[in-house]
Amino acid sequence: MIMNNMNNNHLIIMAGGVGSRFWPMSIPEKPKQFIDVMGVGKTMIQLTVERFAGIIEPDHVWIVTSKKYKDIVKEQLAQIPDAQILMEPCMRNTAPCIEYVSRKIYAKYPDANLVFSPADHLVLDVPHFQEVIKESLEYTKNNDVIVTLGMMPTRPETGYGYIKAVDANSKEKIQKVDAFKEKPNIETAQKYLADGGYYWNAGIFIWNVKMVVDTIAKLVPDLAAVFDKIEPHFYKNDEQNVIDELFPTCPNISIDYAVMEKSKDVFVYPASFGWSDIGTWGSLYTHIPYDGNKNAIIGENIQMVDSKNCVVRSYGRKKVIVQGLDNYIVVDDNNCLLICKMQDEQLIKEWQK
Protein backbone atom coordinates (compact mmCIF):
# COMPACT_ATOMS: atom_id res chain seq x y z
CA MET A 1 0.00 0.00 0.00
CA ILE A 2 1.27 3.45 -0.91
CA MET A 3 1.68 5.76 2.08
CA ASN A 4 1.38 9.50 1.53
CA ASN A 5 2.55 12.35 3.66
CA MET A 6 -0.91 13.37 4.85
CA ASN A 7 0.38 16.75 6.02
CA ASN A 8 0.75 17.83 2.38
CA ASN A 9 -2.61 16.51 1.18
CA HIS A 10 -5.63 18.80 0.99
CA LEU A 11 -9.19 18.02 -0.05
CA ILE A 12 -11.36 20.65 -1.72
CA ILE A 13 -15.07 19.90 -1.93
CA MET A 14 -17.04 21.96 -4.43
CA ALA A 15 -20.47 22.41 -2.88
CA GLY A 16 -22.11 25.40 -4.52
CA GLY A 17 -24.62 23.72 -6.85
CA VAL A 18 -28.40 24.00 -6.53
CA GLY A 19 -29.36 20.46 -7.63
CA SER A 20 -32.37 21.61 -9.63
CA ARG A 21 -32.94 18.23 -11.33
CA PHE A 22 -33.72 16.71 -7.91
CA TRP A 23 -36.70 18.96 -7.18
CA PRO A 24 -38.73 18.86 -4.97
CA MET A 25 -36.33 17.07 -2.59
CA SER A 26 -33.54 19.46 -3.58
CA ILE A 27 -34.49 23.13 -3.40
CA PRO A 28 -32.34 26.29 -3.65
CA GLU A 29 -32.50 26.77 0.12
CA LYS A 30 -31.16 23.23 0.72
CA PRO A 31 -29.79 21.48 -2.38
CA LYS A 32 -29.03 17.78 -2.72
CA GLN A 33 -25.45 17.86 -1.38
CA PHE A 34 -26.91 18.69 2.04
CA ILE A 35 -29.61 15.98 1.94
CA ASP A 36 -29.64 12.28 2.85
CA VAL A 37 -30.43 11.33 -0.74
CA MET A 38 -29.63 7.63 -0.27
CA GLY A 39 -31.64 7.19 2.93
CA VAL A 40 -28.54 6.05 4.88
CA GLY A 41 -28.55 8.62 7.69
CA LYS A 42 -25.81 10.83 6.20
CA THR A 43 -25.94 13.62 3.66
CA MET A 44 -24.05 13.53 0.37
CA ILE A 45 -21.43 16.03 1.55
CA GLN A 46 -20.91 14.09 4.80
CA LEU A 47 -20.36 10.89 2.80
CA THR A 48 -17.90 12.75 0.55
CA VAL A 49 -15.76 13.90 3.49
CA GLU A 50 -15.99 10.48 5.14
CA ARG A 51 -14.57 8.59 2.16
CA PHE A 52 -11.31 10.56 2.40
CA ALA A 53 -10.71 9.55 6.04
CA GLY A 54 -7.13 8.36 6.50
CA ILE A 55 -5.96 10.23 3.40
CA ILE A 56 -6.76 13.84 4.24
CA GLU A 57 -6.67 15.24 7.77
CA PRO A 58 -9.84 17.12 8.85
CA ASP A 59 -7.93 20.39 9.21
CA HIS A 60 -6.88 20.11 5.55
CA VAL A 61 -10.42 19.85 4.20
CA TRP A 62 -11.77 22.92 2.40
CA ILE A 63 -15.36 23.56 1.37
CA VAL A 64 -16.18 26.03 -1.39
CA THR A 65 -19.85 26.91 -1.35
CA SER A 66 -22.37 29.72 -1.65
CA LYS A 67 -22.61 32.30 1.12
CA LYS A 68 -26.19 31.21 1.78
CA TYR A 69 -25.07 27.64 2.61
CA LYS A 70 -22.43 28.44 5.23
CA ASP A 71 -24.68 27.64 8.19
CA ILE A 72 -25.69 24.30 6.67
CA VAL A 73 -22.03 23.40 6.07
CA LYS A 74 -21.10 24.30 9.65
CA GLU A 75 -23.99 22.23 10.98
CA GLN A 76 -23.22 19.15 8.91
CA LEU A 77 -19.40 19.38 8.99
CA ALA A 78 -18.62 20.76 12.44
CA GLN A 79 -15.05 19.41 12.23
CA ILE A 80 -14.10 21.78 9.39
CA PRO A 81 -12.42 25.04 10.58
CA ASP A 82 -14.38 28.19 9.79
CA ALA A 83 -11.43 29.61 7.86
CA GLN A 84 -11.67 26.68 5.44
CA ILE A 85 -15.28 27.25 4.47
CA LEU A 86 -14.92 29.58 1.50
CA MET A 87 -18.01 31.47 0.43
CA GLU A 88 -18.72 32.54 -3.13
CA PRO A 89 -21.03 35.55 -3.41
CA CYS A 90 -22.37 34.29 -6.75
CA MET A 91 -22.05 31.29 -9.08
CA ARG A 92 -19.14 31.50 -11.50
CA ASN A 93 -18.63 27.83 -12.46
CA THR A 94 -15.71 25.59 -11.47
CA ALA A 95 -12.63 27.46 -12.75
CA PRO A 96 -13.05 30.49 -10.42
CA CYS A 97 -13.94 28.11 -7.57
CA ILE A 98 -10.72 26.16 -8.11
CA GLU A 99 -8.59 29.29 -8.55
CA TYR A 100 -9.96 30.84 -5.35
CA VAL A 101 -9.21 27.94 -3.05
CA SER A 102 -5.91 27.09 -4.76
CA ARG A 103 -4.54 30.62 -4.45
CA LYS A 104 -5.56 30.70 -0.78
CA ILE A 105 -3.94 27.33 -0.04
CA TYR A 106 -0.80 28.29 -1.99
CA ALA A 107 -0.36 31.39 0.16
CA LYS A 108 -0.04 29.21 3.27
CA TYR A 109 0.88 25.72 2.00
CA PRO A 110 3.03 26.16 -1.16
CA ASP A 111 3.89 22.45 -1.31
CA ALA A 112 0.30 21.20 -0.97
CA ASN A 113 -1.06 18.32 -3.02
CA LEU A 114 -4.75 18.81 -3.84
CA VAL A 115 -7.80 16.66 -4.53
CA PHE A 116 -10.87 18.41 -5.96
CA SER A 117 -14.17 16.57 -5.58
CA PRO A 118 -17.84 17.43 -6.13
CA ALA A 119 -19.92 17.28 -2.94
CA ASP A 120 -22.77 15.16 -4.27
CA HIS A 121 -21.37 12.08 -5.99
CA LEU A 122 -21.78 8.44 -4.98
CA VAL A 123 -18.94 5.95 -4.45
CA LEU A 124 -19.86 2.37 -3.56
CA ASP A 125 -16.39 0.77 -3.27
CA VAL A 126 -14.68 3.16 -0.86
CA PRO A 127 -11.51 1.03 -0.22
CA HIS A 128 -10.75 0.89 -3.94
CA PHE A 129 -11.54 4.60 -4.27
CA GLN A 130 -9.03 5.37 -1.52
CA GLU A 131 -6.30 3.35 -3.23
CA VAL A 132 -6.89 5.26 -6.48
CA ILE A 133 -6.71 8.59 -4.64
CA LYS A 134 -3.51 7.60 -2.80
CA GLU A 135 -1.78 6.51 -6.00
CA SER A 136 -2.90 9.67 -7.81
CA LEU A 137 -1.59 11.86 -4.98
CA GLU A 138 1.73 10.05 -5.11
CA TYR A 139 1.88 10.69 -8.86
CA THR A 140 1.13 14.42 -8.63
CA LYS A 141 3.51 14.83 -5.71
CA ASN A 142 6.35 13.76 -7.99
CA ASN A 143 5.10 15.08 -11.35
CA ASP A 144 3.77 18.46 -12.50
CA VAL A 145 0.69 17.00 -14.12
CA ILE A 146 -3.08 16.95 -13.65
CA VAL A 147 -4.63 13.57 -12.90
CA THR A 148 -8.34 13.21 -13.53
CA LEU A 149 -10.29 10.11 -12.59
CA GLY A 150 -11.94 8.32 -15.50
CA MET A 151 -14.70 5.83 -14.78
CA MET A 152 -14.77 2.59 -16.76
CA PRO A 153 -18.00 2.90 -18.79
CA THR A 154 -20.52 0.12 -18.21
CA ARG A 155 -23.09 1.31 -20.75
CA PRO A 156 -23.35 3.82 -23.64
CA GLU A 157 -24.22 6.72 -21.32
CA THR A 158 -25.27 10.02 -22.92
CA GLY A 159 -25.46 11.97 -19.66
CA TYR A 160 -21.69 12.09 -18.98
CA GLY A 161 -18.75 13.71 -20.70
CA TYR A 162 -15.94 11.36 -21.73
CA ILE A 163 -12.14 11.35 -21.47
CA LYS A 164 -10.19 9.77 -24.32
CA ALA A 165 -6.82 8.24 -23.51
CA VAL A 166 -3.99 8.47 -26.04
CA ASP A 167 -3.48 4.70 -26.10
CA ALA A 168 -6.60 2.54 -25.74
CA ASN A 169 -4.40 -0.52 -25.14
CA SER A 170 -2.12 1.02 -22.52
CA LYS A 171 -1.39 -1.11 -19.47
CA GLU A 172 -0.29 1.90 -17.43
CA LYS A 173 -2.47 2.76 -14.42
CA ILE A 174 -2.22 6.48 -15.19
CA GLN A 175 -2.42 7.35 -18.89
CA LYS A 176 -1.92 10.42 -21.04
CA VAL A 177 -5.16 12.12 -22.09
CA ASP A 178 -5.81 12.72 -25.77
CA ALA A 179 -9.05 14.72 -25.53
CA PHE A 180 -12.11 15.57 -23.46
CA LYS A 181 -15.40 14.84 -25.21
CA GLU A 182 -18.76 16.52 -24.62
CA LYS A 183 -21.84 14.47 -23.71
CA PRO A 184 -22.43 12.31 -26.81
CA ASN A 185 -25.57 11.09 -28.55
CA ILE A 186 -26.37 7.39 -28.19
CA GLU A 187 -24.65 6.38 -31.44
CA THR A 188 -21.42 8.14 -30.47
CA ALA A 189 -21.55 6.69 -26.95
CA GLN A 190 -21.91 3.19 -28.42
CA LYS A 191 -18.88 3.83 -30.64
CA TYR A 192 -16.85 5.00 -27.62
CA LEU A 193 -17.54 1.72 -25.86
CA ALA A 194 -16.69 -0.33 -28.95
CA ASP A 195 -13.43 1.55 -29.58
CA GLY A 196 -12.20 1.41 -25.96
CA GLY A 197 -9.97 3.97 -24.28
CA TYR A 198 -12.91 6.24 -23.43
CA TYR A 199 -13.87 6.88 -19.81
CA TRP A 200 -16.63 8.81 -18.05
CA ASN A 201 -15.46 12.14 -16.69
CA ALA A 202 -16.06 11.99 -12.92
CA GLY A 203 -15.03 15.60 -12.29
CA ILE A 204 -12.44 14.57 -9.67
CA PHE A 205 -9.00 16.14 -10.18
CA ILE A 206 -5.66 15.68 -8.41
CA TRP A 207 -2.74 18.09 -8.89
CA ASN A 208 -0.21 19.98 -6.80
CA VAL A 209 -1.09 23.53 -5.84
CA LYS A 210 1.78 25.19 -7.70
CA MET A 211 0.67 23.38 -10.85
CA VAL A 212 -2.87 24.76 -10.40
CA VAL A 213 -1.69 28.34 -9.91
CA ASP A 214 0.84 28.24 -12.77
CA THR A 215 -1.56 26.55 -15.20
CA ILE A 216 -4.42 28.98 -14.61
CA ALA A 217 -2.04 31.94 -14.85
CA LYS A 218 -0.93 30.64 -18.26
CA LEU A 219 -4.24 29.49 -19.71
CA VAL A 220 -6.77 31.81 -18.04
CA PRO A 221 -4.86 35.06 -17.39
CA ASP A 222 -8.00 37.17 -16.94
CA LEU A 223 -9.11 34.88 -14.09
CA ALA A 224 -5.64 34.93 -12.50
CA ALA A 225 -5.63 38.73 -12.73
CA VAL A 226 -8.72 38.96 -10.51
CA PHE A 227 -7.01 36.89 -7.82
CA ASP A 228 -3.81 38.89 -8.11
CA LYS A 229 -5.92 41.68 -6.58
CA ILE A 230 -7.58 39.42 -4.01
CA GLU A 231 -4.50 37.50 -2.83
CA PRO A 232 -3.07 40.22 -0.48
CA HIS A 233 -6.29 39.97 1.55
CA PHE A 234 -6.20 36.22 2.22
CA TYR A 235 -6.38 35.33 5.92
CA LYS A 236 -7.19 38.95 6.81
CA ASN A 237 -10.34 40.47 8.27
CA ASP A 238 -11.41 42.05 4.99
CA GLU A 239 -11.03 38.91 2.85
CA GLN A 240 -14.76 38.22 2.50
CA ASN A 241 -15.53 41.84 1.64
CA VAL A 242 -12.91 41.80 -1.12
CA ILE A 243 -14.22 38.45 -2.40
CA ASP A 244 -17.76 39.85 -2.45
CA GLU A 245 -16.57 42.80 -4.49
CA LEU A 246 -14.21 41.14 -6.98
CA PHE A 247 -15.36 37.51 -7.34
CA PRO A 248 -18.37 38.52 -9.51
CA THR A 249 -15.88 39.96 -12.04
CA CYS A 250 -14.40 36.49 -12.67
CA PRO A 251 -15.17 34.89 -16.05
CA ASN A 252 -17.96 32.32 -15.82
CA ILE A 253 -16.05 29.27 -17.07
CA SER A 254 -15.69 25.59 -16.23
CA ILE A 255 -12.33 24.04 -15.38
CA ASP A 256 -12.85 21.53 -18.19
CA TYR A 257 -13.13 24.26 -20.81
CA ALA A 258 -10.59 26.62 -19.22
CA VAL A 259 -7.83 24.10 -18.49
CA MET A 260 -8.48 20.42 -19.11
CA GLU A 261 -9.27 20.77 -22.82
CA LYS A 262 -6.20 22.98 -23.41
CA SER A 263 -3.44 21.65 -21.16
CA LYS A 264 -0.90 19.17 -22.52
CA ASP A 265 -0.23 17.85 -19.00
CA VAL A 266 -3.49 16.01 -18.25
CA PHE A 267 -3.49 12.31 -17.38
CA VAL A 268 -6.35 9.94 -16.59
CA TYR A 269 -6.56 7.16 -14.03
CA PRO A 270 -9.16 4.67 -15.33
CA ALA A 271 -10.96 3.09 -12.38
CA SER A 272 -14.11 1.28 -11.36
CA PHE A 273 -15.32 1.88 -7.82
CA GLY A 274 -19.08 2.09 -8.22
CA TRP A 275 -19.28 5.78 -9.12
CA SER A 276 -22.30 7.87 -10.06
CA ASP A 277 -22.88 11.59 -10.09
CA ILE A 278 -26.47 10.93 -8.93
CA GLY A 279 -27.53 13.69 -11.28
CA THR A 280 -31.16 12.67 -11.74
CA TRP A 281 -33.91 10.63 -10.12
CA GLY A 282 -33.27 7.96 -12.75
CA SER A 283 -29.61 7.64 -11.78
CA LEU A 284 -30.59 7.45 -8.09
CA TYR A 285 -33.09 4.71 -8.95
CA THR A 286 -30.28 2.45 -10.16
CA HIS A 287 -28.53 2.64 -6.76
CA ILE A 288 -31.44 2.01 -4.38
CA PRO A 289 -32.47 -1.56 -3.47
CA TYR A 290 -35.64 -2.68 -5.28
CA ASP A 291 -38.69 -4.49 -4.03
CA GLY A 292 -40.06 -7.49 -5.95
CA ASN A 293 -41.58 -5.23 -8.61
CA LYS A 294 -38.42 -3.16 -9.09
CA ASN A 295 -39.72 -0.21 -7.10
CA ALA A 296 -37.04 1.82 -5.28
CA ILE A 297 -38.54 3.11 -2.02
CA ILE A 298 -36.97 5.88 0.09
CA GLY A 299 -38.82 6.65 3.31
CA GLU A 300 -41.50 5.12 5.50
CA ASN A 301 -45.26 4.58 5.27
CA ILE A 302 -45.09 3.96 1.53
CA GLN A 303 -47.31 1.24 0.05
CA MET A 304 -47.00 0.14 -3.57
CA VAL A 305 -50.07 -1.40 -5.23
CA ASP A 306 -49.87 -2.88 -8.74
CA SER A 307 -46.92 -0.56 -9.49
CA LYS A 308 -43.48 -1.36 -10.89
CA ASN A 309 -40.20 0.25 -11.96
CA CYS A 310 -40.85 3.38 -9.88
CA VAL A 311 -38.77 5.50 -7.53
CA VAL A 312 -40.80 6.86 -4.61
CA ARG A 313 -39.54 9.16 -1.86
CA SER A 314 -41.56 10.37 1.13
CA TYR A 315 -40.56 10.97 4.74
CA GLY A 316 -42.71 11.58 7.78
CA ARG A 317 -45.98 10.27 9.13
CA LYS A 318 -47.96 10.75 5.95
CA LYS A 319 -49.26 7.49 4.47
CA VAL A 320 -48.46 7.24 0.74
CA ILE A 321 -50.17 4.71 -1.54
CA VAL A 322 -49.03 4.46 -5.15
CA GLN A 323 -51.33 2.41 -7.38
CA GLY A 324 -51.10 1.44 -11.03
CA LEU A 325 -47.92 3.25 -12.03
CA ASP A 326 -45.10 1.91 -14.21
CA ASN A 327 -41.78 3.74 -14.61
CA TYR A 328 -42.71 6.86 -12.64
CA ILE A 329 -41.03 9.21 -10.17
CA VAL A 330 -43.12 10.10 -7.10
CA VAL A 331 -41.63 12.54 -4.59
CA ASP A 332 -43.40 14.21 -1.67
CA ASP A 333 -41.08 16.74 -0.04
CA ASN A 334 -40.82 20.42 0.95
CA ASN A 335 -44.59 20.91 0.68
CA CYS A 336 -44.45 19.88 -2.97
CA LEU A 337 -45.56 16.73 -4.79
CA LEU A 338 -43.96 15.50 -8.01
CA ILE A 339 -45.48 12.73 -10.14
CA CYS A 340 -43.50 12.38 -13.33
CA LYS A 341 -42.76 9.78 -16.01
CA MET A 342 -39.17 8.59 -15.61
CA GLN A 343 -38.56 9.26 -19.30
CA ASP A 344 -39.45 12.95 -18.83
CA GLU A 345 -37.23 13.65 -15.83
CA GLN A 346 -34.97 16.01 -17.79
CA LEU A 347 -37.94 18.40 -17.91
CA ILE A 348 -38.10 18.75 -14.11
CA LYS A 349 -35.55 21.57 -14.20
CA GLU A 350 -37.68 23.46 -16.73
CA TRP A 351 -40.96 22.98 -14.86
CA GLN A 352 -39.67 24.91 -11.87
CA LYS A 353 -39.26 28.14 -13.85
Residues 6+ apart with CB under 8 A from 111: 8, 208, 209, 210
Phi, psi (deg, nearest 5) at residue 274: 65, 55
> How confident is the model over 280-330, as pLDDT tens digits?
898 889 888 999 999 999 988 999 999 999 999 998 788 999 999 999 999
- Its sign, for the CA torsion 332, 337, 343, 348, is negative
pLDDT mean across residues, the chain = 93
State the pLDDT at residue 1: 35
User: What angle separates helix 94-108 from helix 209-219, to the nearest 10 degrees?
Assistant: 130
* Ordered domains of the chain (ranges, CATH): 6-276 (3.90.550.10), 281-351 (no CATH)
Q: Which residues of 64-103 are buried (b: 16+ CB within 10 A; e: fewer)?
A: bbbeebeebbeebbeebeeebbbbbeeebbbbbbbbbbbb
> pLDDT confidence of 346, banded at 50, 70, 90?
confident
pLDDT in tens, 227-268: 999 999 999 999 999 999 999 999 999 999 999 999 999 999
- Phi first, then psi, for residue 233 (nearest 5°) are -100, 0
Give residue 95's pLDDT: 96
Model pLDDT, residue 181: 92
* Residue 89 CA neighbour count, 13 Å, CB half: 12
